[in-house]
Amino acid sequence: MYSSTVLEHLENPRNVGELADATIRGESFNPVCGDRMTLTLRVSAGTISDARFLVDGCPPSIAAGSMLTVLLINSDLDGAERLTPRRLSEELEQLPRHKEHCAILAIDALRSALAQLKLHAAEEI
Ligand code: FES
Protein backbone atom coordinates (compact mmCIF):
# COMPACT_ATOMS: atom_id res chain seq x y z
CA MET A 1 0.00 0.00 0.00
CA TYR A 2 2.73 2.48 0.97
CA SER A 3 6.06 2.67 -0.84
CA SER A 4 9.28 1.65 0.92
CA THR A 5 10.24 5.36 1.05
CA VAL A 6 6.99 6.32 2.80
CA LEU A 7 7.44 3.46 5.26
CA GLU A 8 11.05 4.43 5.92
CA HIS A 9 10.05 8.05 6.67
CA LEU A 10 7.30 6.79 8.96
CA GLU A 11 9.74 4.65 10.92
CA ASN A 12 12.36 7.38 11.03
CA PRO A 13 10.79 10.79 10.43
CA ARG A 14 13.35 13.53 9.78
CA ASN A 15 13.39 17.00 11.30
CA VAL A 16 10.40 16.69 13.62
CA GLY A 17 9.76 19.65 15.91
CA GLU A 18 9.90 23.42 15.80
CA LEU A 19 12.90 25.70 15.32
CA ALA A 20 13.16 28.02 18.30
CA ASP A 21 14.99 30.59 16.15
CA ALA A 22 12.88 30.17 13.02
CA THR A 23 12.87 32.98 10.48
CA ILE A 24 9.40 32.06 9.38
CA ARG A 25 6.52 29.74 10.17
CA GLY A 26 3.84 28.25 7.96
CA GLU A 27 0.67 26.40 8.84
CA SER A 28 -1.83 24.34 6.92
CA PHE A 29 -5.10 22.66 7.72
CA ASN A 30 -7.35 20.32 5.79
CA PRO A 31 -10.91 20.82 7.05
CA VAL A 32 -12.09 17.58 5.43
CA CYS A 33 -9.77 15.18 7.27
CA GLY A 34 -8.80 17.52 10.12
CA ASP A 35 -5.05 17.11 9.61
CA ARG A 36 -2.80 20.08 10.28
CA MET A 37 0.88 20.83 9.78
CA THR A 38 3.28 23.45 11.08
CA LEU A 39 6.53 24.17 9.28
CA THR A 40 9.31 26.35 10.67
CA LEU A 41 12.23 27.49 8.52
CA ARG A 42 15.49 29.27 9.12
CA VAL A 43 16.35 31.38 6.08
CA SER A 44 19.61 33.17 5.51
CA ALA A 45 20.81 34.94 2.36
CA GLY A 46 18.10 33.33 0.24
CA THR A 47 18.84 29.80 1.41
CA ILE A 48 16.86 27.60 3.80
CA SER A 49 19.47 26.47 6.28
CA ASP A 50 17.15 24.44 8.50
CA ALA A 51 13.56 23.19 8.64
CA ARG A 52 11.31 21.39 11.11
CA PHE A 53 7.76 20.13 10.85
CA LEU A 54 5.01 19.11 13.25
CA VAL A 55 1.94 17.28 12.09
CA ASP A 56 -1.29 16.28 13.73
CA GLY A 57 -2.44 13.86 11.10
CA CYS A 58 -2.29 10.61 9.25
CA PRO A 59 0.85 8.50 8.56
CA PRO A 60 1.35 9.75 4.96
CA SER A 61 1.20 13.36 6.18
CA ILE A 62 4.09 12.53 8.55
CA ALA A 63 6.07 11.08 5.64
CA ALA A 64 5.20 14.13 3.50
CA GLY A 65 6.35 16.58 6.19
CA SER A 66 9.53 14.59 6.74
CA MET A 67 10.40 14.45 3.03
CA LEU A 68 9.51 18.12 2.62
CA THR A 69 12.08 19.16 5.23
CA VAL A 70 14.72 16.95 3.58
CA LEU A 71 14.07 18.67 0.24
CA LEU A 72 14.06 22.14 1.80
CA ILE A 73 17.23 22.06 3.88
CA ASN A 74 20.00 23.75 1.88
CA SER A 75 17.54 24.65 -0.89
CA ASP A 76 17.32 28.22 -2.15
CA LEU A 77 14.00 30.04 -2.00
CA ASP A 78 13.43 29.70 -5.76
CA GLY A 79 13.73 25.93 -5.45
CA ALA A 80 11.31 25.96 -2.52
CA GLU A 81 8.82 28.00 -4.58
CA ARG A 82 8.93 25.40 -7.34
CA LEU A 83 8.11 22.43 -5.09
CA THR A 84 4.73 20.93 -5.86
CA PRO A 85 2.57 18.24 -4.27
CA ARG A 86 3.28 16.05 -7.31
CA ARG A 87 7.05 16.37 -6.87
CA LEU A 88 6.72 15.59 -3.15
CA SER A 89 4.62 12.54 -3.91
CA GLU A 90 7.16 11.41 -6.53
CA GLU A 91 10.00 11.78 -4.01
CA LEU A 92 8.00 9.47 -1.73
CA GLU A 93 7.69 6.97 -4.60
CA GLN A 94 4.05 7.93 -5.01
CA LEU A 95 1.46 8.30 -2.33
CA PRO A 96 -1.68 6.23 -2.84
CA ARG A 97 -4.22 8.21 -4.86
CA HIS A 98 -6.57 8.66 -1.89
CA LYS A 99 -3.64 10.04 0.14
CA GLU A 100 -2.26 12.50 -2.40
CA HIS A 101 -3.85 15.35 -0.47
CA CYS A 102 -1.31 14.68 2.31
CA ALA A 103 1.37 16.06 -0.03
CA ILE A 104 -0.90 19.08 -0.60
CA LEU A 105 -1.08 19.62 3.18
CA ALA A 106 2.74 19.76 3.34
CA ILE A 107 3.10 22.07 0.33
CA ASP A 108 0.35 24.32 1.71
CA ALA A 109 2.41 24.73 4.90
CA LEU A 110 5.41 25.64 2.73
CA ARG A 111 3.35 28.15 0.70
CA SER A 112 2.10 29.68 3.95
CA ALA A 113 5.69 30.09 5.20
CA LEU A 114 6.91 31.58 1.92
CA ALA A 115 3.98 34.01 1.87
CA GLN A 116 4.90 35.17 5.38
CA LEU A 117 8.48 35.65 4.27
CA LYS A 118 7.39 37.85 1.35
CA LEU A 119 5.11 39.83 3.65
CA HIS A 120 7.95 40.50 6.06
CA ALA A 121 10.29 41.45 3.21
CA ALA A 122 7.71 43.92 1.86
CA GLU A 123 7.27 45.48 5.31
CA GLU A 124 11.01 46.07 5.55
CA ILE A 125 11.12 48.03 2.28
FE1 FES B 1 -5.68 14.30 5.31
FE2 FES B 1 -3.49 12.86 5.45
S3 FES B 1 -5.57 12.14 5.63
S4 FES B 1 -3.63 15.00 5.23
Output the pLDDT for position 67: 98
Ligand 1 mutation target, pool 55, 101, 107, 108, most atoms within 8 A of CB: 101
Q: Say which CATH architecture domain 4-124 belongs to.
A: Alpha-Beta Complex (3.90)
**Domain residue ranges in the chain:** 4-124
Per-residue pLDDT tens for 79-118? 999 999 999 999 999 999 999 999 999 999 999 999 999 8
pLDDT-derived band at 125 (thresholds 50, 70, 90) equals low
Q: Is 35 in the pocket of ligand 1 (CB under 6 A)?
A: yes
Output the pLDDT for position 107: 98
Catalytic residue positions, numbered: 33, 102
DSSP the chain: ---HHHHHHHHS-SSBS--TT-SEEEEEE-TTT--EEEEEEEEETTEEEEEEEEEES-HHHHHHHHHHHHHHTT-BHHHHHH--HHHHHHHTT---GGGTHHHHHHHHHHHHHHHHHHHHHHHH-
Q: Tell me the CA–centroid distance for residue 78 and ligand 1, in Å.
A: 27
The whole-number average pLDDT for the span 22-49 is: 96
The whole-number average pLDDT for the span 39-48 is: 96
